[in-house]
């Protein structure tokens, strides 16, 4: 099921004009605060009435102003996961989970509770009330509550933003499973490049109320002109597969034939995963380096040099593993005479690859 | 124990409890609805509605009673209408309940409105996105969360209804066994020589009933609040 969004809305001092179609999977609506992503998701939920537009999940049309069609929120068949979980304080975890289920059509699958409870690992919490849960537990219950409503569209509004790093790492895998196991389109609002790299099937990047770019996660993150947050967020994403785990705490990955060594990952050999390589962690060498401590050396050619406004430049390298972005100074780029077509090596220290940047 | 109070005094206590009970119960649905309208809706004339609701609180009770007499008396427009369907409130205990209810109404609405404004509208939005219509959002989310406010408001309204004097005596007069509630009885006893003892006994009864209601509501409110907060 695909997702189709087109919206026009005027707010004081801000005009939103957004239109995109996304294939099945998880679509990350990416942008800084004030870019309009919250307006889009609220319009999709029916909590805000836009001036004009249409939103449809597959053939389920939520609204279409041209056709004078407007479903109220409760008839949109949504699973909305909020930033602050919004669990009902007077209900137990079990009653919270089943809340949307009560209102779902009778034809909706029964006996789903056990499967969702098992998937989210909330079985031991069922009789508790939300006030007694940790932030991560609350968000897991909120995910379950959205799933059990048998939604036709899952909306997630920065569901990890209110959590600390450890809780984020705890919740991210559940969204990965959600993306891989459900056929329901997911619209996921985020301003975190990590979440884009880990979760996105499709990225729609918003800037000042317009779609700035759209593509797969690898395409958008591999674009040297794409600056998530700041230039410090530049980092391409490689798709790889676990080959083996080594005794010294490293895992060996296969990225389209290239070998990568990363700190130990929990995935079993054979499983696919994504690795985000931060631009500032990549060193460029013109000859194959020898006797260095860095474990990953990828041969490739320069594709593009994109100078920034400051002293730096982002260099796109085409390697066997995929596109890698490197941040270097303009001085180094000039000294090495980096230009499209130049053969070179990308050097990546294993320890610089953060655990949250590696995942399914 | 029963001869502690005379039959006339028992009658006044029983009547007061009956009047206050039905007054509170009667205004509860409208009070919840009005509080909801004032807390959640935006419309032109909201301040006028708010003023109307609070009118009995700020008008002299005698004026409220007189207005009731004009409206609900047997010759009043509403009284005549009720008489058509066989209901007479003038000079009956039901009239006393009506007067008490109207006097207690602003207190009930205030209390419920306060607790409703404390309910996070984001929870109601979440319920709507999960498939609950406005009615079900109200029944399954808003109502349980404002229960402490409803309870506290009901107790205050009950106490106000028990103590109502001015509007009641103006509207339905002071008829023993019909409309002579506890405060009216106290007043009557104080008008006759040697009635101080009976008046004093009724004063003790009022204090006990008021305190009992207050303690009961505190206990219940705390229990409900704990349930609602989930701790």
Q: Do A240 and A221 lie in a common domain?
A: no
Cβ-count burial A313-345 (b if 16+ within 10 Å, e if not): bbbbbbbebbbbbbbbeeebbeebebeeebebb
| Closest Cα in chain A, distance from residue B211 (Å) | 29
B228 and A89 within 8 Å at the Cβ level: the answer is yes
Residues in A touching B229 (Cβ below 8 Å)? 89, 131
Structural domain including A208 reads 3-227
Residues in A touching B150 (Cβ below 8 Å)? none
Q: Please report the pLDDT score of residue B230 as a whole number.
A: 58
- Is the CB of residue B118 less than 8 Å away from at least one CB of chain A? no
Q: Do A214 and A315 lie in a common domain?
A: no
Q: Do A222 and A240 lie in a common domain?
A: no
B126 and A90 within 8 Å at the Cβ level: the answer is no
Residues in A touching B126 (Cβ below 8 Å)? 80, 82, 86, 88
Residues in A touching B120 (Cβ below 8 Å)? 86
Q: Please report the pLDDT score of residue B229 as a whole number.
A: 65
The string of pLDDT tens digits covering residues A299-329 is 999 999 999 888 999 999 999 999 999 999 9
Q: Do A209 and A255 lie in a common domain?
A: no
Q: Which residue of B has its CA nearest to A131?
A: B230
Residues in B touching A76 (Cβ below 8 Å)? 129
Query: Cα separations (Å) of B17 from A111, A170, B25, B105, B182?
Result: 51, 58, 12, 17, 9
The string of pLDDT tens digits covering residues A117-176 is 988 999 999 999 999 899 999 999 999 999 999 999 999 999 998 888 888 888 998 999
Q: Do A134 and A255 lie in a common domain?
A: no
Q: Please report the pLDDT score of residue B79 as a whole number.
A: 81
B129 and A45 within 8 Å at the Cβ level: the answer is yes
CATH of the domain at A200: 3.40.50.300
The string of pLDDT tens digits covering residues A330-341 is 999 999 999 999
Nearest to B140 by CA among B119, B156, B157, B161: B119
- Overall size of chain A counted in residues: 360
Q: Please report the pLDDT score of residue A311 as a whole number.
A: 92
Under DSSP, is residue A318 helix (H, G, I), strand (E, B) or coil? strand
Instruction: Report phi then psi at B42, rounded to 5.
Output: -120, 125
- Averaged pLDDT for residues B30-38: 94
Task: Give residue B54's pLDDT band: very low, low, confident or very high (50, 70, 90).
Answer: very high
| Closest Cα in chain B, distance from residue A81 (Å) | 9
- Averaged pLDDT for residues A46-53: 93
Q: Do A204 and A241 lie in a common domain?
A: no
Q: Which residue of B has its CA nearest to A143?
A: B130
Q: Do A221 and A245 lie in a common domain?
A: no
Residue B42 in this model has a pLDDT that exceeds 70:
yes
Q: Which residue has the higher pLDDT, B82 or B56?
A: B56
Pairing of strands A3-11, A153-157: unpaired
| Closest Cα in chain B, distance from residue A148 (Å) | 9
Chain B interface mutation, best of A49, A71, A88, highest count of B Cβ atoms under 10 Å: A88
Q: Please report the pLDDT score of residue A107 as a whole number.
A: 63
Number of folded domains in chain A?
A: 2
Measured CA to CA, the distance from residue B85 to residue B70 in angstroms comes to: 19
Who among A75, A86, A131 is closest to B122 (CB)? A86
Residues A54, A66 contacting (CB under 8 angstroms): yes
B126 and A82 within 8 Å at the Cβ level: the answer is yes
A80 and B229 within 8 Å at the Cβ level: the answer is no
Nearest to A326 by CA among A302, A355, A358, A309: A302
Residues A250, A264 contacting (CB under 8 angstroms): yes
Under DSSP, is residue B181 helix (H, G, I), strand (E, B) or coil? coil
What secondary structure does DSSP assign to A121-165, as a single string? T-GGGTTS-GGGS-HHHHHHHHHHHHHHT--SEEEEESTTTTS-H
Residue A20, both tokens: 């995109």
Residue A109 in this model has a pLDDT that exceeds 80:
no
| Portion of chain B with pLDDT greater than 70, in percent | 97
Residue B25 in this model has a pLDDT that exceeds 60:
yes
Q: Please report the pLDDT score of residue A185 as a whole number.
A: 94
CATH of the domain at A352: 2.40.50.100
Residue B34 in this model has a pLDDT that exceeds 70:
yes
A131 and B141 within 8 Å at the Cβ level: the answer is no
Residues in A touching B118 (Cβ below 8 Å)? none
Task: Give residue A357's pLDDT band: very low, low, confident or very high (50, 70, 90).
Answer: confident
Q: Do A222 and A245 lie in a common domain?
A: no
Return the number of other C-beta atoms located less than 10 Å from residue B5's C-beta.
Answer: 17
Residue B1 in this model has a pLDDT that exceeds 60:
no
Residue A33 in this model has a pLDDT that exceeds 90:
no
Return the number of other C-beta atoms located less than 10 Å from residue B216's C-beta.
Answer: 12
A74 and B123 within 8 Å at the Cβ level: the answer is no
Who among A47, A84, A99 is closest to B130 (CB)? A99
Task: Give residue A72's pLDDT band: very low, low, confident or very high (50, 70, 90).
Answer: very high
Q: Do A58 and A78 lie in a common domain?
A: yes
Measured CA to CA, the distance from residue B161 to residue A79 in angstroms comes to: 47
Q: Do A73 and A101 lie in a common domain?
A: yes
The string of pLDDT tens digits covering residues B159-196 is 999 989 999 999 988 888 888 999 999 999 999 888 88
Q: Please report the pLDDT score of residue B5 as a whole number.
A: 79
The string of pLDDT tens digits covering residues A189-232 is 999 888 999 999 999 999 989 999 999 999 999 998 888 877 88
- Estimate the share of chain A in helix, then strand, then coil, as percent rounded to the nearest 5: 30, 35, 35
Cβ-count burial B133-148 (b if 16+ within 10 Å, e if not): eeebbbebbbbbbbbb
User: Domain boundary residue among A169, A194, A227?
Assistant: A227
Q: Please report the pLDDT score of residue A205 as a whole number.
A: 93
CA angle B140, B145, B151 (to 5 degrees): 115
**Distant-in-sequence, close-in-space partners of B127: CB < 8 Å, separation ≥ 6:** A88, A99, B136, B137, B140, B141
B123 and A88 within 8 Å at the Cβ level: the answer is yes
Q: Please report the pLDDT score of residue A110 as a whole number.
A: 60
Structural domains in chain B, CATH included, are 2-229 (1.10.3720.10)
**Distant-in-sequence, close-in-space partners of B204: CB < 8 Å, separation ≥ 6:** none
pTM tops 0.95? no
Q: Please report the pLDDT score of residue B220 as a whole number.
A: 80
A86 and B145 within 8 Å at the Cβ level: the answer is no
Residues 121-150 of chain B with CB under 8 A from chain A are 122-123, 125-134, 136-137, 140-141, 144-145
User: Domain boundary residue among A227, A261, A286?
Assistant: A227
Return the number of other C-beta atoms located less than 10 Å from residue B126's C-beta.
Answer: 29
User: Domain boundary residue among A227, A245, A279?
Assistant: A227
> DSSP strand E in B25-112: where?
none
Looking up tokens 């997702």 gives A3
Chain A residues in contact with chain B using a Cβ-Cβ cutoff of 8 Å: 45-47, 72-80, 82, 84, 86, 88-90, 99-100, 102-104, 129-132, 145-146, 149, 155
Residue B231 in this model has a pLDDT that exceeds 60:
no
Who among B130, B134, B140 is closest to A145 (CB)? B130
| Closest Cα in chain A, distance from residue B125 (Å) | 8
CB pairs under 8 A between A and B: 80
Q: Do A162 and A255 lie in a common domain?
A: no
Q: Please report the pLDDT score of residue A92 as a whole number.
A: 93
Measured CA to CA, the distance from residue B162 to residue B156 in angstroms comes to: 10
B132 and A74 within 8 Å at the Cβ level: the answer is yes
Q: Do A150 and A21 lie in a common domain?
A: yes
């Amino acid at each position: 099921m695909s997702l189709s969004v087109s919206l026009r809305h005027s707010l004081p001092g801000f005009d939103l004009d957004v239109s995109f179609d996304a294939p099945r999977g998880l679509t990350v609506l990416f942008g800084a605060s004030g870019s309009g992503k919250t307006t889009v998701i609220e319009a999709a939920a029916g909590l805000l009435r836009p001036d004009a537009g249409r939103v449809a999940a597959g053939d389920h049309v939520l609204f279409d102003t041209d056709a004078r069609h407007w479903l109220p929120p409760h008839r949109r068949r949504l699973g909305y996961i909020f930033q602050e979980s919004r669990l009902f304080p007077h209900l137990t975890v079990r009653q919270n989970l089943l809340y949307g289920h009560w209102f779902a059509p009778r034809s909706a699958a029964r006996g789903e509770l056990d499967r969702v409870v098992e998937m989210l690992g909330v079985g031991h919490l069922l009789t508790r009330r939300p006030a007694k849960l940790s932030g991560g537990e609350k968000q897991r219950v909120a995910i379950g509550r959205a799933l059990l409503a048998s939604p036709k569209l899952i909306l997630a509004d920065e569901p990890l933003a209110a959590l600390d790093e450890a809780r984020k790492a705890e919740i991210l895998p559940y969204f990965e499973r959600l993306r891989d196991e459900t056929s329901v389109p997911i619209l996921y609002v985020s301003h975190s490049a990590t979440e884009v790299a880990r979760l996105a099937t499709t990225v729609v990047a918003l800037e000042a109320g317009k779609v700035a770019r759209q593509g797969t996660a690898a395409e958008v993150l591999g674009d040297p002109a794409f600056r998530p947050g700041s230039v410090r967020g530049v980092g391409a994403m490689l798709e790889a597969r676990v080959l083996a785990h080594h005794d010294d705490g490293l895992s060996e990955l296969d990225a389209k034939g290239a070998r990568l060594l990363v700190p130990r990952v929990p995935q079993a050999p054979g499983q696919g995963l994504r690795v985000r390589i931060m631009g500032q962690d990549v060193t460029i060498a013109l000859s194959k380096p020898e006797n260095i401590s860095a474990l990953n050396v990828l041969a490739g050619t320069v594709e593009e040099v994109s100078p920034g406004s400051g002293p730096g430049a982002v260099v796109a390298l085409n390697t066997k593993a995929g596109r890698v972005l490197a941040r270097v100074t303009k001085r180094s780029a000039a000294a090495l005479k980096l230009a499209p077509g130049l053969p070179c090596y990308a050097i990546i220290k294993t320890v610089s690859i953060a655990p949250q940047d590696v995942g399914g | 124990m029963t001869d502690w109070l005379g039959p006339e005094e028992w009658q006044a206590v029983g009547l007061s409890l009956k009047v206050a009970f039905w007054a509170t119960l009667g205004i509860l649905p409208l009070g919840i609805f009005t509080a909801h309208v004032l807390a959640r809706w935006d419309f032109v004339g909201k301040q006028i509605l708010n003023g109307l609701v609070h009118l009995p609180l700020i008008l002299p009770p005698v004026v409220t009673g007189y207005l009731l007499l004009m409206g609900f008396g047997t010759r009043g427009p509403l009284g005549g209408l009720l008489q058509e369907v066989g209901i007479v409130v003038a000079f009956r205990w039901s009239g006393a309940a009506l007067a008490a209810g109207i006097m207690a109404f602003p207190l009930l609405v205030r209390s419920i409105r306060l607790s409703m404004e404390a309910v996070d509208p984001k929870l109601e939005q979440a319920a709507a996105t999960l498939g609950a219509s406005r009615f079900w959002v109200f029944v399954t989310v808003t109502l349980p969360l404002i229960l402490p406010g409803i309870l506290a408001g009901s107790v205050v309204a009950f106490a106000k209804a028990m103590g109502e004097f001015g509007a009641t005596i103006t509207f339905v007069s002071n008829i023993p066994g019909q409309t002579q509630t506890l405060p009216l009885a106290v007043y009557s006893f104080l008008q006759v020589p040697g009635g101080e003892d009976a008046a004093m006994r009724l004063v003790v009864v009022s204090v006990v009933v008021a305190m009992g209601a207050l303690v009961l509501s505190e206990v219940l409110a705390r229990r409900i609040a704990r349930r609602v907060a989930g701790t």
